[in-house]
Amino acid sequence: MPCLFAVIALLAPRVLTVVLWLFTDWFAGLFSSLLWPILGFIFAPTTLLWYSVVHNVYGGEWGTLQIVVMVIAVLIDLSPASGKRKG
């Protein structure tokens, strides 16, 4: 059961990104090339989502709150790769 929760947690940002990409213009004009969203989708989906939130909701203004949440998003994206089970 815990593995199911882990899989859902890892897939949720990617599913949300696909839904936003297909049904909204959330990512329109955000990136100059298609390479960055694809790399973000594969390697850093939470960071990609927060970057798009800052541009769409906050008008691209990077204040203290936006930077703190970006650091948290990067840590969330890096945590599955760096966590090793001890036992």
**Domain residue spans of the chain:** 2-82
User: How far lies 86's CA from each of 7, 28, 34, 75, in Å?
Assistant: 20, 43, 39, 20
Structural contact between residues 36 and 17, judged by C-beta atoms closer than 8 angstroms: no
Confidence (pLDDT) at 81: 58
Check whether 87 has a pLDDT greater than 90: no
Quote the pTM value.
0.82
Tell me the per-residue pLDDT of 16-73, one tens digit each, with 9 for 90 and over.
Answer: 999 999 999 988 888 888 899 899 999 999 999 999 999 999 999 999 999 999 999 9
